[in-house]
């Protein structure tokens, strides 16, 4: 039986982005919520402690996703990064800045020093959360590509009602995802826990409105998602139902269910994006002749076979390491564990 390797690698590309958005999504959410939930240095340390052991490993998946596109679909990689280079550059700088903020904020015991890095952390979590939605929306809507995937537009053309709503939808989903993640990681009944719960209710409402607006513009007004058949409506419908499930879980105080529901919303939303693309990878707004497809943008069969063997070796190792990491640091974070030596508040 002949394996359709380009389709397999398109599915793997979708999988790596889905895992990345699921894992780093709650990192973004926690970073954005930190200035609004934490009122003291001890509380700020507690919030950082919820993602501290995981954020670097979660970023591995975006490196893996970029590597998969580069190796398996070089024409897609070149066209997308050329067209949206400033957005990708901002995301890269933000991810670097976020890592620096995590590591440097405790190096100097001074209020202004920590406030600077906390502000840096907020901005460097906010930017990728928004820009990833803009990029994914542009992938679905299409870009002005000419012969050979040459970009014939301007980066400002990446922003319109559909793509901005896509950015706001991902931003709100990631903040909601981060809030429900905190419900699992913070000590139940603590001040931070109660604030995180209120934030989840607030951002649940915001995410519901923005996601429905994005779906309305995509399905009804602009017809961007018209390629989805009736059977593929399952994924956007499931994403919407999971948002409703978040409200039910929060009302019933089922923290695990609430986090699972937000995670599934991220998963189904990402699946909707890639399902609407296939068999294309990057539509051209200048004509179907110039559209990049799974077939015409894929690497040679030998390259794809080699990549398949490599992935069979290393992918289980990456998943196994991350599963072990989450198991080791599975305990809830308590504020008293973050107390500064000497009993001071740190402020």
Which region among 140-149, 225-234, 243-252, 311-320 has the lowest average model confidence (pLDDT)?
225-234
C-alpha span between 182 and 81 (Å, rounded): 34
- What is residue 3's predicted lDDT score, i.e. its pLDDT? 67
pLDDT value for 242: 74
> Higher model confidence: residue 151 or residue 233?
151
How distant, in Å, are the alpha carbons of 17, 28, 196, 238, 265 from that of 272?
Answer: 12, 21, 28, 10, 10
Whole-number pLDDT of residue 345? 43
Whether residue 62 is predicted with pLDDT greater than 90 in this model: the reply is yes
What CA–CA distances, in Å, run from 284 to 123, 144, 290, 294? Answer: 32, 5, 6, 14
Q: What is the pLDDT of residue 336?
A: 62
| Residues in CB range of 43: below 8 A, 6 or more apart | 37, 191, 192, 335, 338
Highest mean pLDDT among 196-205, 206-215, 218-227, 231-240: 196-205
Average of per-residue pLDDT across 233-256: 79
pLDDT, residue 245, reads 85
Q: What is the pLDDT of residue 272?
A: 85
Q: What is the mean pLDDT of residues 281-286?
A: 92
Judge whether 258 and 246 are in contact, CB under 8 Å.
yes
pLDDT confidence band for 344 (50 / 70 / 90): very low
The model's confidence at residue 259, banded by pLDDT at 50, 70 and 90, is very high
**DSSP at 332:** P
Average pLDDT over residues 210-228: 74
Residue 2 pLDDT greater than 70, yes or no = no
pLDDT of residue 330: 85
**Distance in angstroms (rounded) separating the CA atoms of residues 154 and 170:** 23
Q: 153 by DSSP, 3-state: which?
A: coil
Mean pLDDT is lowest, of 19-33, 68-82, 322-336, for 322-336
Other C-beta atoms lying within 10 Å of the C-beta of residue 317: 9
The sign of the torsion formed by the CA atoms of 230, 235, 240, 241 equals positive
Q: Which pLDDT value is given to residue 27?
A: 95
pLDDT band at 18 (very low <50, low <70, confident <90, very high): very high
> What confidence tier does 230 reach under pLDDT thresholds 50, 70, 90?
very low
pLDDT tops 90 at residue 179: yes
Residue 343: the pLDDT is 44
DSSP 33-79: HHHHH--SHHHHHHHHHHHTTTHHHHHHHHHHHHHHHHHH-HHHHHH
Does the structure show a pLDDT above 80 at 346? Answer: no
Give pLDDT, residue 252: 87
CA-wise closest residue to 175 among 133, 217, 215, 214: 133
pLDDT at 227: 62
Report whether 265 contacts 247 (CB < 8 A).
no
Of the candidates 224, 20, 266, the one whose C-alpha atom is nearest the C-alpha of residue 139 is 224
| Other Cβ atoms within 10 Å of 339 Cβ, number | 16
Domain extent listing, the chain = 3-327
Residue-level pLDDT at 228: 58
Banded model confidence at residue 223, pLDDT cuts 50, 70, 90: low
Q: What is the pLDDT of the chain when averaged over all its residues?
A: 88
The mean pLDDT value for 166-172 works out to: 96
- What are the pLDDT digits (tens) for 88-118? 999 999 999 999 998 888 888 888 999 999 9
Contacts of 82 (CB under 8 A, 6+ apart): 151
pLDDT at 243 > cutoff 80: no
What confidence category does residue 341 fall into, taking pLDDT thresholds of 50, 70 and 90?
very low
Give the N- to C-terminal CA distance of the chain in Å, as an integer. 66
Cβ pair 149, 289 in contact under 8 A: no
How far apart (Å, rounded) are the C-alpha atoms in residues 79 and 283? Answer: 11
Predicted pLDDT of residue 148: 83
């Amino acid at each position: 039986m002949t394996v359709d390797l380009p389709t397999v690698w398109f599915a793997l590309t979708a999988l790596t982005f889905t895992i990345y958005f699921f894992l780093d999504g709650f990192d973004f959410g926690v970073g954005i919520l930190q200035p609004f939930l934490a009122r003291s240095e001890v509380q700020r340390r507690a919030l950082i402690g919820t993602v501290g052991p995981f954020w670097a490993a979660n970023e591995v998946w975006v490196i893996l996703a970029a590597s998969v596109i580069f190796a398996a679909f070089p024409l897609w990689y070149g066209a997308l990064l050329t067209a949206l280079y400033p957005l990708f550059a901002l995301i890269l700088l933000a991810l670097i800045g976020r890592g620096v903020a995590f590591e440097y904020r405790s190096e100097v015991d001074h209020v202004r020093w920590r406030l600077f890095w906390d502000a840096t952390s907020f901005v460097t979590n906010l930017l990728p959360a928004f820009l990833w939605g803009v990029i994914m929306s542009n992938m679905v809507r299409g870009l002005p590509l000419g012969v050979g995937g040459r970009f014939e537009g301007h980066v400002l053309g990446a922003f319109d009602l559909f793509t901005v709503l896509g950015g706001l939808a991902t931003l709100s989903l990631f903040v909601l995802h981060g809030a429900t993640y905190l419900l699992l990681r913070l000590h139940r009944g603590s001040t931070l826990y109660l604030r995180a719960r209120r934030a989840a209710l607030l951002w649940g409402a915001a995410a519901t409105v923005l996601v429905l607006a994005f779906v309305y513009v995509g399905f009804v007004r602009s017809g961007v998602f018209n390629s989805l058949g009736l059977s593929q409506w399952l994924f956007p419908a499931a994403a919407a139902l999971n948002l409703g499930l978040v409200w039910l879980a929060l009302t019933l105080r089922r923290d695990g269910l609430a986090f699972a529901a937000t995670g599934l919303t991220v998963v189904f939303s990402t699946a909707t994006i890639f399902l609407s693309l296939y068999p294309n990878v990057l539509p051209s707004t200048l004509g179907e002749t110039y559209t990049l497809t799974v077939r015409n943008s894929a690497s040679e069969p030998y390259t794809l076979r080699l990549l398949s063997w490599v992935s069979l070796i290393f992918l289980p190792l990456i998943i196994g390491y991350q599963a072990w990491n989450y198991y080791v640091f599975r305990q809830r974070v308590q504020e008293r564990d973050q107390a500064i030596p000497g009993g001071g508040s740190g402020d």
